[in-house]
Structure 1
Amino acid sequence: MYLPILAATSLLAGVAYGYASPGACSGVCNMHDPSLIRRESDGTYFRFSTGNRISYVSASSIEGPWTAIGSVLPDGSSIDLAGNTDLWAPDVQLVDGVYYVYYSVSTFGSQNSAIGVASSATMNLNTWTDHGSTGIRSDSSKAYNAIDGNLLNDGGSLLMSFGSFWGDLYQAPMSSPRAVGSSSYNIAYDPAGAHAVEGPYLYKYGNYYYLFYSAGTCCGYDASMPAAGEEYKIKACRSSSATGGFVDASGVACTAGGGTIVLESHDNVYGPGGQGVFTDPTLGPVLYYHYVDTTIGYADSQKVFGWNVIDFSSGWPVV
């Protein structure tokens, strides 16, 4: 292990940041690809994750104690693709009083993929209705892989960001929370190596839209450790527009390999990623993610929930 420091950039000249330890977590903290929301009616927190056909848990605060609820889609998805009983990478959003969980249908390393959606008015167990595909799909004819969807509700304008490897990150306008509206376009691309960029999350703070994403090798650390620095990490670019023009803190376009590191391996935290951003009513903006706790183990099944408060005072997210 090593202790990296977030290097100063031209916009953060002369300043270097260490990373804060993840916030406290109790109860069910073992999970992969978290998505977090707080129910408006009673303030209950819900956390969704990969596995068990989209597993979810609840708590009275982001710290827990997290209690298991069950599966969003215990019978799997109606999407007719391999992997429709093994759903990935949930993203939960509230639109017009309805909670939507977006999920990925695919198999590992395949481009035969689709982003589906289920909805509930309450998020209670057995209240989810599967609506199948959003219309965002991919195969070998596409430049992208249609997984890792994230919906931004920008004042009623709905945008779906998605992608993993291949042409990296894309975005498409949605005509409704359940259906894509028009063609997709590229918003981030790393031309180097395997194009190891995935899991976008778009978050507006102040006058900017921040595109958070995961970069590097995500998985299988117990079988094969990547070279130092090539493991999962969280990066960000920003733009004054939600639909493109994202650059990093040095001004490099996100479509040309740009990306400022927000969080990487440090102390007993290894390979953080699968992130999202949540606006907590007390804490403010929070970056949440999964990571390997090196004191526990490196297997994918051992990854745990992490979170840190975000400081945007420099104009860039710092944790």
Structure 2
Amino acid sequence: MKSSVVTSLMGLAATVYGYANPMSCSGVCGNAHDPSLIRRDSDGRYYRFSTGGKIAIHSAPRITGPWTYLRAAIPAGSKINLAGKDDLWAPDVSKFGDTYYLFYSVSTFGSQNSAIGVATSTNLDTWTDHGATGVSSKAGSAYNAIDPAVYYDGSNLVMSFGSFWGDIYSVKMNNPPLTVASGASSTRIAYKPSGTHAQEGAFIAKNGNYHYLFFSVGQCCGFDTSKPAAGQEYKIQVCRSTSATGGFVDKAGVSCTNGGGTTVLESHDWVYGPGGQGVFYDPSLGPVLYYHYVDTRIGYQDAQKQFGINKIDFSSGWPVV
């Protein structure tokens, strides 16, 4: 939400001629790289899952906190026997039927030797790892098999994934979504053809007649040792389509497979490099954009990434925070 005056709305402190700052957050708001947010149906408690520590679980009674660390989601590490199986990245948690599904990445920084795994739970607290989903990559692959997010488009379960190289792809999943559907092939849905192809973290959300593809662009990490040129740090962009499996374009009509992307949120004030985003439909606030970011008042280390939430307005047909 842009504003020409300093105001406050639903806990969001807006800035002069800029993006709204994140909602207040209490408790453990750091250690929030690549967050996934979900609310438990049985008691309305919020859960946050994030990269590292074999997928760190935090929980809170309210979306703003106080957030408390609970445990590692997959304490024994992944069944997938690749480097990174004891770290685990970019969780995505969704509920299909009576079961919660936790999708995660096994990889190491800068490598295409990657795979996407899945674990299940009935309560969000304890998880059973099932290992590989069938989405993997190696040196020379068209994509990097990280950053999964599974989405139900009304007919099919679709996983979006990918990073750099050929950027972002999608593939149809079985129902329940433990593995890729038989005979399904991966389709590219977003690509930055220039530079380092720095695009990842896809997340699809439905609003009205459109499926919105949110993604992160730019340098994500290592800001404390290698800060990029201004504007080259992480930011959040979006394209939309009437299909969840392709045809995404930005607000100017540029195809998302040809560099398209309308910026939703970028660095401003003390917020630096927001990304790793998702959209959550909160029963009280409505749609919110959640993400990680560097709070320049705290520090630039990856372990200091903070959990950010903003209300998001789709009334114009394009998401605005």
TM-score, normalising length from structure 1? 0.93
- Deviation at 1:17? 6.7
State the distance in 1 between where 2:220 and 2:140 align: 25
Question: Take 1:263 and 1:153, find their aligned partners in 2: how far apart are those partners?
Answer: 25
The answer for the alignment partner of 1:287 in structure 2 is: 289
Find the counterpart in structure 2 of residue 300 from structure 1. 302
1:153 counterpart = 2:155: no
Which letter maps to 2:267? S
Q: Which amino acid aligns with 1:164?
A: S
Offset at residue 68 of structure 1 (A)? 1.1
Deviation per residue, 1:137-172 (Å, 9 max, x gap): 001231000000000022351000000100000000
Matches within 5 A, 1:260-275: 260-275=262-277
SS in 2 for 1:167: coil
Matched with 2:109 is: 108
1:168 partner amino acid: D
Unaligned runs of 5+ in 1: 6-15
Q: C-alpha distance in 2, partners of 1:292/1:79?
A: 31
2:88 matched to 1:98? no
Q: Aligned to 1:180, what secondary structure does the other structure show?
A: coil
Separation in 1 of the partners of 2:315 and 2:295?
29
DSSP-derived class of the 2:65 partner: coil
Secondary structure of 1:301 counterpart: helix
Distance 1:103 1:39 in 2: 19
**AA in 1 matched with 2:293:** Y
CA distance in 2, matches of 1:57, 1:314: 34
Deviation string, structure 1 residues 94-150 (Cα, Å, up to 9, x no partner): 0111001100000111001000000001112xx210000100000123100000000
1:179-212 deviation line (CA, Å, top 9, x unaligned)? 0111101000000100000000000000000000
| 2:12 aligned partner | none
Percent identity, aligned pairs only, is 66
Q: Give the Cα separation in 2 of the matches to 1:290 and 1:229.
A: 17
TM-score, scaled relative to structure 2: 0.93
Cα distance in 2 between the residues matched to 1:232 and 1:273 = 6
Once residues 238 and 191 of structure 2 are traced to their aligned partners in structure 1, the CA distance between those partners, rounded to angstroms, is 12
CA distance in 2, matches of 1:21, 1:226: 22
Q: How big is each residue's C-alpha offset from its partner over 1:20-62, in whole Å with a ceiling of 9 and x where there is no partner?
A: 0101110010021100000111111000001110001111111
Q: Output the CA distance in 2 between the equivalents of 1:280 and 1:262.
A: 19
Q: 2:137 matched to which residue of 1?
A: 138
Corresponding residue SS for 1:274: strand
What is the RMSD of the two structures over their aligned residues, measured on CA atoms?
1.2
Q: Give, in whole Å, the separation in 1 of the partners of 2:223 and 2:124.
A: 34
Amino acid at match of 2:210: Y
Does residue 248 (structure 1) correspond to residue 250 (structure 2)? The answer is yes
Partner of 2:52: 51
- Indicate the residue corresponding to 1:25 in structure 2: 25
Is there any run of 5+ residues in structure 2 with no aligned partner, and where?
Answer: 5-15
The separation in 2 between residues aligned to 1:221 and 1:302, in whole angstroms, is 11
1:73 aligns to what? Answer: 74
How far apart are the structure 1 equivalents of 2:288 and 2:155? 23
| Cross-structure match for 2:314 | 312
Specify the alignment match of 2:167 in structure 1: 168
- Which residue is equivalent to 1:201? 203
Separation in 2, partners of 1:80, 1:98: 25
Question: In structure 2, how many angstroms separate the alpha carbons of the residues matched to 1:297 and 1:194?
Answer: 26
Question: What SS does the corresponding residue of 2:205 show, helix, strand or coil?
Answer: strand
The alignment partner of 1:114 has SS state of: strand
Dislocated runs of 4+, deviation >6 Å: none
- What's the counterpart of residue 231 of structure 1? 233
Q: CA deviation at 1:271?
A: 0.2
Which amino acid in 1 is paired with 2:161?
A: F
